[in-house]
Amino acid sequence: MDATTGDLALEWKPRKQHSRIGRLFDSKPFLVALCLLPTVGLLVVFLTYPLGLGLWLSMTDTTIGQPGEYIGLDNFYSLFSDPVFWGAVWYTIFYTAVATVGKFLLGLWLALLLNNHIPFKAFIRAIVLLPWIVPTVLSAIAWWWIYDPQFSIVSFVLVDVLHWRTHYIDFLGSPWSARWSLIVANIWRGIPFVAITLLAGLQTISPSLYEAALLDGASGWQQFRRITVPLLMPILSVALTLSVLFTFSDFQLVYAITRGGPFNSTHLMATLAFQRAIPGSQLGEGAAIAVSMIPFLLVATLVCFFGVGRRKWQQGSDND
Amino acid sequence: MTDTAAVTTQEVELAASTKDAPELLSWDSRARRTITVYIPLAIFIIVLLFPFYWMAITSIKPDYEMYNYKQYNPFWVHSPTLDNIKKLLFDTEYPRWLMTTMGIATAATFISVGASVLAAYAIERLRFRGAQHVGLAIYLAYLVPPTILFIPLATLIFQFGLFDSPFALILTYPTFLIPFCTWLLIGYFKSIPYELEECALIDGASRLQILWRITLPLAVPGLISAGIFAFTLSWNEFIYALAFIQSTEKKTVPVAILTELVTGDVYQWGSLMAGSLLGSVPVAIIYSFFVEYYVSSMTGAVKE
């Protein structure tokens, strides 16, 4: 004991641990508490407490600069008879559903393409991630410019180059085209994340499985259906959960491109909550809209996580 | 025997390559590969990168070219100009917004990575009772979207007297950075053999010495990727910065471009695009240096 510690004394300075502070740092409960303190402190003050505070605010008539009083569920009653609110709920669900399906189909396709042996693979993989890296608001501004009513490059190509249409498309001017334009921009931004995530999943699948299937005479579709899809399920369910969650609570893209217009037709619940709470200064009502997102988020998360990948997810956790 | 096997595999491969087969074998014909792989891939790359190209090209176009597609091919610049960028840098407070964003992102990153290292180490290595539950709770915190938090946070920030101060952002960004970084670092710590720590423990090193001298040096790649992630996420953050900051000179780049550069009905597309481009450059540079860490740790984190 003495000999070993003596040898190591030069390097490890074990003397320190005999002092009182040193001994305190060696007691596990103290160390655990010390290590968790910053994280738990920050999260409790700025996450857990605001979550509860939000619930409380949604039941008050607080406005900016004026503490409100408890008014029960009045905010929710007035929201439930507000067509703009129901419009936002409806569009949020539509936006999430369509954009998620689009992202995952295209993302899976891109992942399958990238899983081939292609030249400059690492470089292509890197640049494909760009839409995901760049701040959403900044790429949204680029999309805004692409959707310009007079100088849209897409319209220019369709009308003046290809002569497929006779006049320029007013992308953001009418409700439905605005809704679809936003969904396209969201899919564009979401493809890289899905593709790279699923690519990681694809690369964990052992090639010997495909070889075995090939020898057994399985077709390409059968290989995809029976090997690729089931083995991708664990990672797919995680990616799907995150994607649905963040698409449902999206704010930046819509706020940057349309701010909910034209005629409130593209409001998501998040943008409507912001609209009512900060510029409209009705904090209580805004909080009520934000709180009514929670049940949807819970259901969506549970369905995606346990519904899609439950069996595989459990297997995946065993492999760790 | 081998002949028949080869024939069947070739037939199967012919059938397979009409679909999107995940693995095309080497003897697959070049033409088919072009149609099933290269052309779709090229379309994907063009569509994914076009908005950036368009952003870049618009930011160096003079106004008369920008609004005249008939005479000037819009896909190219005939007489590039730096006017838009000059206007942005000298007539607006853009440099100041860049510095503010940089400062806030750096501070939030250091706080988050520091807190996350300690938390991840405690959860993964100190093996206390309930470690799993704490880990799960932190993971769940990642699933709480900022859009349902910003209203109560705004009132909280106001009570603390932090409204319109960079500290409002430095203190709130860790709420979504810490869960992410902790999650990533737990995964990273798992990959470091526990035996190394046991050896050090037997040799008489204290827990803190182990963390400082053994675990952290081995976890440097993990720390770098957590840092990059945290920096990009805070650079990109929008809703808190929009809600908590009011004065022009304290705004972050994404918010400032949208609220300060968009004025009136006529949009200055040249400056807007230049601003977006310059605002994307710092994250793109950081990302390009560490792309390998980034991709591998992102996929690693998702795999957890």
Note whether residue B86 is domain-resident.
no
Note whether residue B295 is domain-resident.
yes
* One domain, residues B171 and B265: yes
Residue-level pLDDT at B181:
92
A113 pLDDT exceeds 60? Answer: yes
CB spacing of B174 vs A128 below 8 angstroms: no
From the DSSP assignment, how many helices (H) and strands (E) are in chain B? 18, 0
Note whether residue B194 is domain-resident.
yes
How many whole angstroms separate alpha carbon A244 and alpha carbon A296? 11
* One domain, residues B40 and B107: no
How many whole angstroms separate alpha carbon A58 and alpha carbon A262? 27
Instruction: Kindly give the parts of chain B with pLDDT less than 70.
Output: 1-28, 264-266, 293-304
Residue-level pLDDT at B18:
46
Residue-level pLDDT at A152:
85
Query: What percentage of chain A reaches a pLDDT higher than 70?
Result: 89
Residue B84 near chain A (CB below 8 Å): no
* One domain, residues B22 and B104: no
Residues of chain A in contact with residue B236, where contact means CB-CB under 8 angstroms, are 134-137
Residue-level pLDDT at B149:
92
Task: Select from B163, B218, B184, B161 the least CA-distant residue to B112.
Answer: B184
* One domain, residues B266 and B179: yes
How many whole angstroms separate alpha carbon A254 and alpha carbon A178? 10
Give me B74's structure tokens. Answer: 């819009």
C-alpha B85: how far from its chain's center?
25
**Looking at B9, B29, B55, which one is the last position of a domain?**
B55
Q: Are B300 and B235 in contact (CB under 8 A)?
A: no
| Partner residue facing B128 (CB), from A26, A28, A278 | A28
* One domain, residues B283 and B139: yes
Note whether residue B141 is domain-resident.
yes
DSSP A63: B
Instruction: Give the dihedral sign, CA B18/B20/B26/B29.
Output: positive
Q: Which of A49-53, A244-248, B245-249 has the lowest mean pLDDT?
A: B245-249
Residues of chain B in contact with residue A293, where contact means CB-CB under 8 angstroms, are 145, 147-148
Q: Are B83 and B270 in contact (CB under 8 A)?
A: yes
Task: Select from A95, A247, A274, A79 the least CA-distant residue to A182.
Answer: A95
How many whole angstroms separate alpha carbon A91 and alpha carbon A114? 33
CB spacing of A8 vs B204 below 8 angstroms: yes
* One domain, residues B253 and B205: yes
Mean pLDDT of A243-267: 90
Confidence label for A77 from pLDDT (cuts 50, 70 and 90): very high
Task: Select from B47, B46, B56 the least CA-distant residue to B284.
Answer: B56
Give me A103's structure tokens. Answer: 């992202």
B164 by DSSP, 3-state: which? coil
The count of domains in chain B is 2
How many whole angstroms separate alpha carbon B47 and alpha carbon B32? 22
ipTM above 0.90, yes or no: no
Q: Are A128 and B45 in contact (CB under 8 A)?
A: yes
Higher pLDDT, A282 or B287: A282
Q: What is the pLDDT of residues A2-28, one digit of tens each?
A: 444 445 445 555 554 456 776 777 678
What is the per-residue DSSP string for B210-274? HIIIIIHHHTHHHHHHHHHHHHHHHHH--HHHHHH--SGGG--HHHHIIIII--SSS--HHHHHH
| Partner residue facing A113 (CB), from B44, B148, B150 | B44
Residue-level pLDDT at B228:
87
Residue-level pLDDT at A140:
92
From the DSSP assignment, how many helices (H) and strands (E) are in chain A? 19, 0
Residue-level pLDDT at A186:
95
What type of residue is A306? F
* One domain, residues B51 and B99: no
Residues of chain A in contact with residue B275, where contact means CB-CB under 8 angstroms, are 138
CATH match for A76-318 among 1.10.3720.10, 1.10.10.60, 3.40.50.150, 3.40.50.970 = 1.10.3720.10
Higher pLDDT, A63 or A291: A291
Residue-level pLDDT at A97:
94
Residue-level pLDDT at B199:
87
CB spacing of A12 vs B209 below 8 angstroms: yes
Residues of chain A in contact with residue B57, where contact means CB-CB under 8 angstroms, are none
Q: What is the pLDDT of residues A136-183, one digit of tens each?
A: 999 999 999 999 888 888 888 888 888 888 888 888 888 899 999 999
Residue-level pLDDT at A52:
92
Q: Are B205 and B252 in contact (CB under 8 A)?
A: no
User: So where are chain A's domains?
Assistant: 2-57, 76-318
CB spacing of A153 vs B74 below 8 angstroms: yes
| Residue range of the domain that includes B289 | 92-303
Residue-level pLDDT at B266:
67
A271 pLDDT exceeds 90? Answer: yes
The crossing angle, in degrees rounded to 10, of helices B269-289 and B291-303 is 80
Note whether residue B135 is domain-resident.
yes
What type of residue is A187? I
A154-166 in b/e burial notation, b at 16+ Cβ within 10 A? bbbebbeeeeeee
Q: What is the pLDDT of residues A90-107, one digit of tens each?
A: 999 999 999 999 999 999
Residue-level pLDDT at B125:
83
Note whether residue B65 is domain-resident.
no
Q: If you search the block for the tokens 């368009």, which residue do you land on?
A: B54
A70 by DSSP, 3-state: which? strand
| Partner residue facing B155 (CB), from A5, A156, A283 | A283
* One domain, residues B104 and B46: no
Residue-level pLDDT at A22:
67
Q: If you search the block for the tokens 């081939």, which residue do you land on?
A: A116
A188 pLDDT exceeds 50? Answer: yes
Mean pLDDT of A262-283: 90
CB spacing of B148 vs A228 below 8 angstroms: no
Residue-level pLDDT at B119:
92
Mean pLDDT of A222-243: 87
Distance from CA of B151 to the nearest CA of A (A): 6
CB spacing of A8 vs B115 below 8 angstroms: no
- Direct distance between the N- and C-terminal alpha carbons of chain A, in angstroms, rounded to an integer: 37
